[in-house]
Structures are given as C-alpha cells and as structure tokens.
Chain A
Amino acid sequence: MEQISRRQMFLIGAGYTFDATLISLPAQIIGVAKQDAWMTYPLASLLILAMLWLLSKVSQRFPDQDLFEALTHRYRLIGRLIVCSMILFTFLILQRDLRMFIDFSNIVLLQQTPLSVIGLLMIGVIIPIVASGIEVLGRVAEIFFVMLALVILSLPLVLLKELDLESLLPIFDGGPGHVAKGAWLAFPYLGEMLILPFVFKSKTFNFRTAAYAQLFGSFLLVILIVYNIIVLGVHVSARFMYPNHELTRQIRLTDFLDRFDMILVSIWASAMFTKVAFSVFVICRGIRRCLPTVSEKLLASPVTVFALVCSFWFFENSLQVVNLNHTWPALALLFQVLFPVLLFFFLRPKKKTPAHESP
C-alpha cells in the first residue's frame, strides 16, 4: 500500500485549497465584500476547521482505515451510498476545475487552439500522474506547490511600488453582512480539502497537519486578495474574470523581464495539474472502496476522459462556471457541513462483545 508523509499531505491539502480558488472566485468575493474581502477567507476557514476537527475525530475511531473504507465496512449499503455521493461531488469539483483550467488556458495563453485540444493535452499530463500513484502525486506537490507558494510569498516585494494601502479603507464600510456573504462564496472552495480523511488513514491524516494546510492555503489566498485590492483597486478587480492574472501582469522586473506573468502561470499550471490529479485519485479510490476488485490505477484514464467530456457537456462557456459559484455553496453545505456532522455522530466502530471467561 502506497503511503505519503504528513508533509506531502500538508502540501496536497494546501494546494487543494488554494490552486483553483484563485482563478475567478476572488473577483466575485471582492464584488460582494468590497475592500473587506480579505476577511472572508479567515471567516470561512473557521467553519472548515470545525468540520476538519469533526472528521479527524471520526478518523481516529478507525486507525487502520480511511473514511471511505470505514464507511463501506461499517454500513454495507448506506456506507456505499454515502461513498458514491462523495464520489459524485468530487466528480463535480473535478470537471468544474478542469473546465476553469481549460478556459483560462484558452483565454490567456492559447487563443487559437480549440478547447478540446487543450483538454486532451491536459489529460495527457493528468493521467500519468494519477496512474503513477499517490506517492508520485505527493512528490509533484512537493515541487510545484512549494514553488508556487514561494512566488506568492514574494509578491509583496515585487509589487512594492504599485501599492495603494488606502484602498483597504474604510473597514466594515458595507457592514459585517457583506463579509459573511463573501465567506459564503469562499467556504465551498476552502472546504474541498475535507475530502482528505476519506482517502488517508489517520496515520497520515491528523487534525493539526490538515489545519495547518487549510490555514496556509487561506493565508496565500488572503495575500492575493489584499494585493488585488491595493494594486488593482476594488472596482477594477471585481470586474475582471481572472483578477490574479491581471495582478501578475503588473509585475515588471526591470526592463529585461516584462512578461513575468508567463512564468507565474506556468508554475501555477503545474500546481493545478496536481489538484486535478488528486481529484481523479479520490474518485478512483472511492470506486475501489465500493468495488474492491477494481484497479484504481487503471481507472485513471477512463475517469479523466469522462470528466473531460462532462466538463464540456455540463458548462456551455466559462461564464456558466463562474455563475454556478453563487449557488454552489448550497450544494457544498450538504457535503462539507452536514455529512461531517452526521459522520461524527453516527460513524462508530462496532462494539466488541466481551469474551466469556472460562470457569
């Protein structure tokens, strides 16, 4: 059985929180919460941390099993139904991410290339990562997420001359209700990492590491959204489809490197491949837990191809993907709040019957 270290799980978790959230969501959050948008991520994180704590407690009850395995062993029918619904939810996340990734590449990088060709090129990268197993995925995250995080952390230095700190004021101009609405938009994206205990045993997954991953991913998002506000301004950044890309276009390192955004996009794309590959891995692992005779590595190709086709079927254009963000939290509430609470109360190991002592 392949295992990854807690450090790798931290990087996968933080990347799962961060990589797709930064695409279009910040513009919508800034549109709702204005200059207080940076408060939305910490607020949403609090809810996710509470859910992570619940799931970590459930995970500790089954030390040798992940939650998919625990569910299918403990409740044969209902457990499988819950696993199937989690697979379906992850599949929705997967094909949404895939479509956002394809649209972004088409709009920003490859305007003349058909979407289907971009999609096929992408799955040509994703399939080998998943088919190589979780250890390879962990190592890919170790390289690319670390690079991405370093670049994001260095943004304050390279954008120093573009800052207008007054854009962050006045605080609570729209009232706390606006911040709460922004957090409502942010929580399903931040909560995607709640899938971790379903695929990792408690030996790999523990609350502290997962909480650090969640906080680190949110911290990077806060840096980006603060820089969106103070570099681009509230009104401008709320109107962009990809505000973070516009932000990176402001970076000009002296006269010899004025398209630094291309380097950043290439690093981000590599990290994004890890996120999409992890979603495919979760789906394959879930199917294997329901049908133990199935090979999860061989399922990587058909699941990825199916997700690609569904991403073209589900969404007519990139605007539909963005519009879904308004109603998506309601669906996420079911899987990211209700399910953890129910599992916390009802998923317990069978009580062992005391052995009769011989007279």
Chain B
Amino acid sequence: MIGQLILSLLVFAIILMLEWRPLRKSTRSTRLISFSLYALSSAIWVWLQVSMHVPRPAVYLEMLLQPFDILK
C-alpha cells in the first residue's frame, strides 16, 4: 500500500512540476478542477492497486443495459 501510495504521489508530483507554471497563471476554477481530477485519479489508482475486489462500473453498466441486448 505504501509503495503504491509513493508511486502515485511521485507521478502526481512530476505532472504538477511540469504543469505548475501554466497552472499558476490560470484561473482559480481551472486550478480547482485540475487538482481535483489529479487527486481523484491518484486515489482511484491507489485503491485499484491495494483492493482485492474492485467493483467495475462496466459490469454494472452491462447489467443495467442487459434487457436491451437484442442479440440474446
């Protein structure tokens, strides 16, 4: 878990380092959305690496749309 956390923080830090200058000059809403998406991505990535059973949205989407599967 700690290894994955460090890895994701490292990627997050590299991206921020590359993007920091334009982000600093941008608007507050751009910064907010960017940081939120980066943080969310890191959190999901760590969760995917650590958790044994991850619920997959594709499975639920398929179950939801199953009645409309005309090929069955």
Contact = CB atoms under 8 A, between A and B. Distances in A.
A302 B33 contact: yes
A240 B37 CA distance: 37
Interface of B: 11, 15, 19, 22-23, 26-30, 33-34, 37-38, 40-41, 44-45, 48, 54, 56-59, 61-62, 65-66, 68-72
A306 B30 contact: no
Given A298-B26, A327-B66, A330-B65, A309 B45 contact: yes
B30 A314 contact: no
18 contacts: A291-B33, A293-B30, A294-B29, A299-B30, A306-B37, A306-B40, A309-B41, A309-B45, A309-B48, A310-B44, A314-B57, A320-B56, A323-B62, A324-B61, A327-B62, A327-B66, A331-B61, A333-B68
A302 B29 contact: no
Given A298-B30, A312-B48, A324-B61, A305 B23 contact: no
Contacts of B33: 287, 291, 294, 299, 302
Interface string A167-208: 000000000000001001100000000000000000000000
A184 B44 contact: no
Nearest to B72: A326
Contacts of A305: 15, 37-38, 41
A330 B44 contact: no
Nearest to B38: A302
A313 B54 contact: yes
A326 B62 CA distance: 9
Interface of A: 32, 120, 181, 184-185, 287, 291, 293-295, 298-299, 301-303, 305-306, 308-310, 312-316, 320-321, 323-324, 326-331, 333
A258 to B, nearest CB: 38
B17 to A, nearest CB: 12
Contacts of A333: 68
A327 B41 CA distance: 27
B29 A293 contact: yes
A96 B34 CA distance: 22
B70 A181 contact: yes
A303 B15 CA distance: 13
Nearest to B59: A320
A310 B44 CA distance: 8
B41 to A, nearest CB: 4
Contacts of A315: 56, 58
A185 B72 CA distance: 13
B69 A327 contact: yes
Contacts of B68: 327, 329-330, 333
